[in-house]
Structure 1
Amino acid sequence: MNFKNSIRAGLFLTAAMIAGPVAALELKETPGLDPSLPPVAERVPSEPLIVDLEATGRTVGKHGGKIDTLIGRAKDVRLINVWGYARLVGYNEKLDLVPDILENVEVEDGRIFTLHTREGHKWSDGHPFGAEDLRYYFEDVVSNEELTPSGLPPFLMVNGKGPNFEVLDETTVRFTWDDPNPLFLPELAKSRPPFIYRPAHYLKQFHDKYGDADFIAKEAEKVKARSWAPLHNKKDDMYNAQNVDIPSLQPWVRKRDDSDLRFVLERNPYYHRVDSTGQQLPYVDEVIMTVADGKLIPAKAQAGESNLQARNLSFSDITVLKKGEKQNDYVTALWSNSKGSEISILPNLTVKDPVWRELLRDTRFRHALSVAIDRNLLNRVLFFGLGTPGNDTVLASSPLYKAELTTKWADYDPDKANALLDEIGLTERNGKGIRLMPDGRPLEIIVETSGEEQVQDDALELVKEMWKEVGVALFAKPSQRDNMRERAITGDLVMSVWTGFENGIPTSEMPPDDFAPVRGDAFSWHKWGDYYETQGEGGEKPDWAPAERLMELYKSWLVSKTPEERTKIWEEMLQIHADETIHIGLVSGVRQPVVVKGLENVPLEGIYGWDPGAHFGIHRMDEFYFKN
């Protein structure tokens, strides 16, 4: 099946969706909307996205109500654009990539992408949405040196070249690259997508190519912008939800700027999705996001102050949350965390110290540290035995999963650990029983922590005792993430603890950038990632065979044409990680509590993660509703 057919088949699968001809669907008005708005038939696209809820195990809902939720800081209001999850293309719950805002996508030879918008689709202010909005983004925003001095973003570049962009008609555009670009569609589905469309009718007034110079000067003065470009960038706010004037395509839109502690997000009356009975989504009228001290959010959720809460809740809160269910009339759903590991110990393979560098790159050393850890004990003590002990790798819900990836070099075997350390030559010990490094220093590993997750500190305390049994001393060093990143940059970071791979449920169609040294913010190999990101101007070129092979595979993925090619590449990359124990993962599949009060269609079992998933997004928050 080529991708053109695959994405069309996925469209049918995502909502089991088309329930008879669209023309036969009787659209229903939403109660409580401004009566001056046009009728619903003029607000939704001529071919809206029709979802058959019953086919996906959900129930048809009804309009009304307000979802109260708590956020730990004002800037988290931007999560409304994550949770709403209106994307040009997005993932369904089977992790198929399917059209959403777009009516259809055609892909030819992996390099020609024809995007069809929906005829009659409108922005939240009622202005038409279509090809002009995609053209404006490409030609007037990312191709404008004053607005985007860094040039086209990486997902629009293939072998150093951007695409040929064409407007075919009012609802159709085409991107054509010389070579395949498998990065393009997955990028559009991210929790924070690039928004390759912009409300041209709104932003043109701030663009020097289209706007009135006097008006632009006055507006720039209001916000203390030096010129039209920073003014435009400030107004061009598709993600952060700070500009209440910019139109949106999301299910809920921020229209008020009257508080920085309580944010009211109102339904978008022009939203493009409807249910099979003709009701326009979203079902819920408003989402209210209230700022609270992050440490108090679990107690507030237990007191029934939130209708939908996962943010600022963790596994350790489950017991308390369960106790409050009956009294405050809510349910604590337990979703599976989609990270490759809840806790991962990360050796820094580009550490500056030459002795540490040689030791950390010795596969036997990483294997020894891994098999010296009793993960079953960690799972029982920290997670009541509910997690899965094992490596930092893909989870069972990923189509790329193989059981051996989880267990290889992850079984507790202190005898094997001792034998490996002896084989390396670390046989001498000091008076405390700690082995000596080749230069005579005691083998004392400083593992730096961000101080953000108590469970990481608790895990290190247990690992400390286990490593001590094989002659390795561990010292946990509390720090902050910015300091840790700075020490990774300088090469002073030896080892750190962090969460595992962000995406533990990848498909072959998702880019394997977490598994190759292509990002400078990775604690395991900053200098290699920096080398790739700066195109050789910074960092260091990979000089370790497994890293070199991972880079070769990643570059092969970037020019791959078929899912079969990409699957083969992914499988080898995952095998290298399992063979080399590049990350020392501890326990995966740890449950994320989700407090649900009064809402229907919220799954009791789901996946919770950033990419893919968008927290609630992949479960379609616009389909949640209040029964009463």
Structure 2
Amino acid sequence: MQRRLFIGGVLSSLLIDPVLAADPSPAMQETPLFADRVKAGTLPPVAQRIPSQPRIVRRFAGGDGPGRQGGQLDMLISAMRETSLMTIYSYTRLIVYDDKFKLHPDILESYDASEGSVFTFRLRAGHKWSDGHPFTTEDFRFFWEDVANNKDLSPGGPSIELLVDDKPPKVEILDDLTIRYSWQRPNPYFLESQARAAPLFLFRPAHYLKKFHAKYTDPAEIVRQARGGPLAGSWVQIFRRVDAMYSNDNVDLPSLNPWIATTNPPAQRFVFVRNPFYHRIDENGRQLPYVDRVVFTMAAANLIPAKAGLGESDLQSRYLNMRDYTFLKKSAKDSGAEVRLWEIGSGSQVALYPNLNANDPLWRGLFRDVRFRRALSMGIDRDELNQVAFIGLATPSNNTIMPRSPLFKPEYATTWAQHDPAAANKLLDEIGLTKRRGDGVRLLSDGRPAIIIVESQREQTEEADVMQLIADHWRKIGIKILMKPQTIENFRLRNQSGEALMMAYSGIVTAVPTLNTSPREFAPTMRGGLQWPKWGVYVETNGKQGEKCDLEPARRLLDYVAEWENATDDDGRRRAWEKILQTNTDEVFSIGTVNGARQPVVVGPKVRNVPKEGYYAWDPGGYIGLYQPDTFWAAS
């Protein structure tokens, strides 16, 4: 990110090609859904609705393009809060990843990054919000001055990605289409924050939200207008409720997404209709998205696999698991759907996190002994896990990055991950755990049996199967485990308080990093790190909470993250990344099982351009968002 980038046609995406300024747009074809409104004069013609330099789709992830406009996609959800999935799936961002995990401008026409500390964004001339109002740098100014730096709306100040040495950027509005952010030192997190599944939105529809902001509207009037309705409360509460760019549950909030919400909760059915001012088109002059409507229908989570198999969803991945695969394949013969298997993007399908900050001093000491962590890792038979729980489709591995990453080395996946109970037993004896009780369970130095309570926040069959197998494996090295399911709230609370000894959870999210990807997940930098929660809180709060890291290998990780942050070229970032990954491999701070497991994706018989094979992850990519669902289309 520190090298100079100018992306306005220089880079080429497998999915969507940026457009050179001199590259003329194709002659536009009116969208059938809007033809009557255009004829009646209530909506401008399509050529006047799109930017003067739209983003032009030239290549398609599924190979079935260009497509046809029209039709509807039905999908299933189990909670009203899942309206946010439309934001995630739509994957419309200032900057986006392509399917090779390279960054490209999307909403932006171009961006320039100078020395990693000065970022100049250029908007597309003529781009409009879904209500037809111009999208300009005023929307960025409003967010920065009136939201991010408003003490009532943002008491903690701007987001951490906008701070370097705890200092915010200099924000300059150069003109209606150009804005610049600059810091005294490089900010390697800034561009990436724009491409995430849950991005750091730098803009808001100012023309709409000013009606709810005390700087522009009398607070008493804001409250009076909302009195008795669903927006009751102070002006701050009302503003936060209507400012729903991520949750996507305010039908009045203008959007830049391909489909806009038309259903306010509560409801059993949420309808999203195509945005007449969307900024992408195909090479034949058809405005995207292809599909006119996307409908989310509520259903019980445990019934969604059956409903998907019976054809009640045109495109479904959420709430499906490999345990559903056989049923889905059988049902697909009648429904005409296809069941595709995408690679899940997680460092480990199930990982174990020994709590290095556990309150129990004896267990804390054992967990901090690398020999103990290595013994537990070598005690697991990952080949058996793969065959039994994942029908042989996953890959035995540590909790580490995947081969798709340009940083991957095979030893990251295999070191201390070979099943070797003899070596594991030898390490445990070396530590001093030589005494056993009658059933073979080792005894701790204070006479307690070596029983680890493993806490989990989910009760999926897959995870339960994995943990039962691990329990069998560890019994052979004298370690007993007991599972303790928790609510997600208790799970986090007990981990961060140190009450929990070990957590079972999914593996690292940053499974396919590039040189420019943040490595913070691999070090004790945030409260979400299950193996070192108190150290993470300490860093996250600048020492106001938590505990200072006092384990030398973990402290080195913090140094390596700082080295990456201050690197000025690719070689420097690569060296820092390699130190981080090698240290995690050697120290086994978390214990992985398998990765590269498969995610069933049910694709209805009428749906086109969904990839046969894909990468399925929260970040980067937003699950199906990486493959641009606005290019999916429905055959008649």
TM-score bin, normalised by smaller chain: over 0.9
Which residue in the other structure is 2:488 paired with? 481
Shift of residue 422, structure 1, vs aligned partner:
1.0
- State the secondary structure of the residue aligned to 2:5: helix
Q: Which amino acid aligns with 2:176?
A: E
Which residue in the other structure is 1:448 paired with? 455
Which residue in the other structure is 2:247 paired with? 240
Q: Which amino acid aligns with 1:112?
A: V
User: Are positions 1:565 and 2:572 aligned together?
Assistant: yes
- State the secondary structure of the residue aligned to 2:24: helix
Q: Which amino acid aligns with 2:580?
A: M
- State the secondary structure of the residue aligned to 1:13: coil
Which residue in the other structure is 1:513 paired with? 520
Which residue in the other structure is 2:623 paired with? 615
| Superposed CA offset, 1:526-564 (max 9, x none) | 111111122111110000011101111222333333333
- Given that 1:10 and 1:98 are in contact with CA atoms closer than 8 Å, whether structure 2 keeps it comes out as no
- State the secondary structure of the residue aligned to 1:246: coil
Which of 294, 302, 311 does residue 295 from structure 1 map onto? 302
Which residue in the other structure is 1:145 paired with? 151
1:3–1:278 CA distance, 2 compared to 1 (3 A): farther
1:9–1:553 CA distance, 2 compared to 1 (3 A): farther
Which residue in the other structure is 1:186 paired with? 192
| Superposed CA offset, 1:266-294 (max 9, x none) | 00000000011111000000000001000
User: Are positions 1:219 and 2:220 aligned together?
Assistant: no
Query: 1:428-577 to 2 correspondence within 5 Å?
Result: 428-577=435-584
C-alpha separation between the residues in 2 aligned to 1:507 and 1:195? Answer: 22
Question: Percent identity among equivalent residues?
Answer: 44
- State the secondary structure of the residue aligned to 1:105: strand
Q: Which amino acid aligns with 2:625?
A: G
Shift of residue 448, structure 1, vs aligned partner:
1.4
| Superposed CA offset, 1:181-207 (max 9, x none) | 010010111111121110011111111
Q: Which amino acid aligns with 2:621?
A: G
C-alpha separation between the residues in 1 aligned to 2:134 and 2:17? Answer: 28
1:37–1:11 CA distance, 2 compared to 1 (3 A): farther
Which residue in the other structure is 2:395 paired with? 388
- State the secondary structure of the residue aligned to 1:53: coil
- Given that 1:446 and 1:476 are in contact with CA atoms closer than 8 Å, whether structure 2 keeps it comes out as yes
Which residue in the other structure is 1:12 paired with? 12
| Superposed CA offset, 1:214-251 (max 9, x none) | 53231343446443222222211111112110000000
- Given that 2:19 and 2:53 are in contact with CA atoms closer than 8 Å, whether structure 1 keeps it comes out as no
User: Are positions 1:268 and 2:269 aligned together?
Assistant: no
Q: Which amino acid aligns with 2:99?
A: E
Aligned length: 628
User: Are positions 1:78 and 2:96 aligned together?
Assistant: no
Which of 47, 60, 69 does residue 66 from structure 2 map onto? 60
Shift of residue 572, structure 1, vs aligned partner:
1.1
Which residue in the other structure is 2:29 paired with? 28
- Given that 2:346 and 2:508 are in contact with CA atoms closer than 8 Å, whether structure 1 keeps it comes out as yes
C-alpha separation between the residues in 2 aligned to 1:318 and 1:67? Answer: 22
Shift of residue 487, structure 1, vs aligned partner:
1.1
1:625–1:413 CA distance, 2 compared to 1 (3 A): same
Q: Which amino acid aligns with 1:549?
A: R
Which residue in the other structure is 1:603 paired with? 611
Q: Which amino acid aligns with 1:541?
A: K
C-alpha separation between the residues in 1 aligned to 2:560 and 2:7? Answer: 25
C-alpha separation between the residues in 2 aligned to 1:10 and 1:335? Answer: 30
- Given that 2:6 and 2:111 are in contact with CA atoms closer than 8 Å, whether structure 1 keeps it comes out as no
1:256–1:483 CA distance, 2 compared to 1 (3 A): closer
- State the secondary structure of the residue aligned to 1:541: coil
Query: 1:342-421 to 2 correspondence within 5 Å?
Result: 342-421=349-428
- Structure 1 unaligned segments of length 5 or more: list them: none
| Superposed CA offset, 1:437-491 (max 9, x none) | 1222111111112233221111111111111111111222222222121211221
Which residue in the other structure is 2:595 paired with? 588
Shift of residue 366, structure 1, vs aligned partner:
0.6
| Superposed CA offset, 1:24-59 (max 9, x none) | 510111002133210011100000001102698442
User: Are positions 1:321 and 2:328 aligned together?
Assistant: yes
- Given that 2:535 and 2:547 are in contact with CA atoms closer than 8 Å, whether structure 1 keeps it comes out as yes
- Given that 1:205 and 1:212 are in contact with CA atoms closer than 8 Å, whether structure 2 keeps it comes out as no
Shift of residue 265, structure 1, vs aligned partner:
0.2
C-alpha separation between the residues in 1 aligned to 2:226 and 2:565? Answer: 41
Which of 156, 160, 167 does residue 161 from structure 1 map onto? 167
- State the secondary structure of the residue aligned to 1:77: helix
1:440–1:576 CA distance, 2 compared to 1 (3 A): same
Q: Which amino acid aligns with 1:79?
A: L
- Given that 1:11 and 1:99 are in contact with CA atoms closer than 8 Å, whether structure 2 keeps it comes out as no
Out of 199-208 and 97-106, give the one that drifted further.
199-208
C-alpha separation between the residues in 1 aligned to 2:570 and 2:207? Answer: 38
C-alpha separation between the residues in 2 aligned to 1:258 and 1:457? Answer: 34
Q: Which amino acid aligns with 1:140?
A: D
- State the secondary structure of the residue aligned to 2:527: coil
Question: What is the RMSD of the two structures over their aligned residues, measured on CA atoms?
Answer: 1.7
C-alpha separation between the residues in 2 aligned to 1:53 and 1:21? Answer: 20
C-alpha separation between the residues in 2 aligned to 1:351 and 1:214? Answer: 50
User: Are positions 1:311 and 2:318 aligned together?
Assistant: yes
- State the secondary structure of the residue aligned to 2:104: strand
Out of 530-539 and 80-89, give the one that drifted further.
530-539
Which residue in the other structure is 1:69 paired with? 75
Shift of residue 596, structure 1, vs aligned partner:
0.4
- Structure 2 unaligned segments of length 5 or more: list them: none
- State the secondary structure of the residue aligned to 2:454: strand
Out of 18-27 and 91-100, give the one that drifted further.
18-27
Shift of residue 346, structure 1, vs aligned partner:
1.0
Instruction: Give me the TM-score of the superposition, normalised by structure 2.
Output: 0.96
- State the secondary structure of the residue aligned to 1:437: coil
- State the secondary structure of the residue aligned to 1:578: helix
Which residue in the other structure is 2:129 paired with? 123
Q: Which amino acid aligns with 2:421?
A: P
1:579–1:24 CA distance, 2 compared to 1 (3 A): closer
Out of 223-232 and 333-342, give the one that drifted further.
223-232
Out of 428-437 and 557-566, give the one that drifted further.
557-566
C-alpha separation between the residues in 2 aligned to 1:228 and 1:409? Answer: 56
- Given that 1:346 and 1:584 are in contact with CA atoms closer than 8 Å, whether structure 2 keeps it comes out as yes
